[in-house]
Structure 1
């Protein structure tokens, strides 16, 4: 920071002096307010703000010391200016240490280094004035203590420049601007000390000009070095220990940070992933937006990249954090499992086809067995009956009683054969009451000249009472409607199981219905079936003859065999 004006040209404070100082103070205060309000207060940024805050204090005290020349307050402001310069240099050195070590400083170390400017101020305040300012021919010159303060300030600032230079050299690429930044800072600090110690060469506007130059270097240098994108030290340490590759891009799409795990990726692979992320990051700038997941394939490898907008130290300059996960082995295993799954699906389809063929063959075998039974039983009975009838023609006139007896015997034989066939076709399991109910219904309809045929399926379990009652009521209502409205004389009831559902078809040969109007009867059927979780439909045939009621009911815990 500029020292007090020990040697003035013209013997007074000029407007130019005041103007340069005010411009310097205004620029620094505006920049300090900007970085304070627009930044996220992470560890490095707090030290960076502290540097500019103490620089602002130092420049302000320098200006007050300039205004106090020739007054009784000149000695006090000279001491304050000297101590403020040391304070600013200490803050700059701490900032350099934080950037170099990548972790916060020890609390006791901070207390120790910040005690130096405090003790310097107290010691200078208690010392003789001649040690700060000594008069030579009426012109104030720097005293011994002031020179010591200046050299302490210089040492701290040079240390800070060395630390910044060490930080720069640790980077993979060092630009000419970064070298110029460190060199210019050291030259400017050295020139400032020389000017403050050689008062004849010192001109008041040089102090603010020097300050503006240094602050400009710090401003552009911080932007160039990526200080605005420095993460919290704890987060950076965590990323360095993280097993997966993580890198951070700045707002311009350049890689600002990568953890050690990134070195495990091949260079061209990392370049391919970063190029894809750079294109995607152009649309990813909202912190509240959910993370985006990309899949990048390169060199026979598959990589999943999770991207999320990461706030930088300046909120309006968002970066992007990208986490790379190598999914090559996982994707290979998944593809292998998919292939195996496809093979299993094909095998399962083959098994189902085989089961269907087995069921079909079983049905054919059952039909062939039944046909054979019919041939063996009825063939014999009918053949015997034919011969008996032929012989009866010869004795019908002479022995009618014997002929009648033989005819009754033939009828009994045919009935017995039919009974044997029926016994062969019937299942051995216990029959449900539903079938006896439908048989009684068919007998009653037969008495009025209506024929009802029941086509049934075989089953292994009992129907529930609700199902029996529902099916019976549906048949009862459907036959009533067929006779009353359709004038039908033939009704077929089919009850079969398919795919876990019990299908009930009731078809008549009566008059059809062009427009179905659901009355209480039809709605009652829908309600009964709906209570069991099923559905019922009503249809008339296209030729206008016949009507069909189709209901299906879930079997739930019943096990019906699909005998067709």
Structure 2
């Protein structure tokens, strides 16, 4: 029975019952006696209370559905609503769940294509920086060295400063190229790539990095390793740029059929600030491999990022 007919018949039953009572044992005098007024008032209150209670019970699934519609976030999947209720209510909830399943599948497919294109573009830019800009700066260093060798002393000192600036620029170009395309990840694996990442952070900032990286990790797919690396990279980048932290810990372990990455700093935390594109990008990457990402305040202050990746047959949600 549809919601319309249930509400209609409910109200009809209440009105018919009231009419029968007025035509039967309950009568109203003119003027209305006090006892009759009390009976009518109590009866009306009872009908209103019964009507409100029955409507609240009948419309409860719709209220839950409306709340889910206003809070749903495709980047943070939640358990689906249970299709309870009679008539069209359960059908509406099932349709809503099917719509969310379809939207999540479409978003995952589009995000996978976008991230794949992004990684390809990063590789291309990294290669061009390394091959073209890097080689050009290297040639400039050689020419400056040759010119400085035959230059008089005052100019030689100036050329030495130019050489140092060019050498610093070359190092920065190489660092950017490594961030765009982590070659060590493809050549030496995830643990070595994370060690190189933390070494790079400590080499260019005053941040103290404490790392605990398990060496007995199971075999992960190339995509899963890239997601773990990019999440760690983004977490450390946020710590350096926004966290105002002095220390950060990076932990990677394999336990209970899951590989867990934990990055925690002692900075100012995220507070009530809305999630930026970096965190949402991490969530999109996590969804691609069925992982769970948690970002929030750490105990004692700071921010922590937790990525839980299912491995093998444990590929359910943690």
Taking structure 1 as the reference length, the TM-score comes to 0.22
Taking structure 2 as the reference length, the TM-score comes to 0.37
| Structure whose alpha-carbon radius of gyration is higher | 1
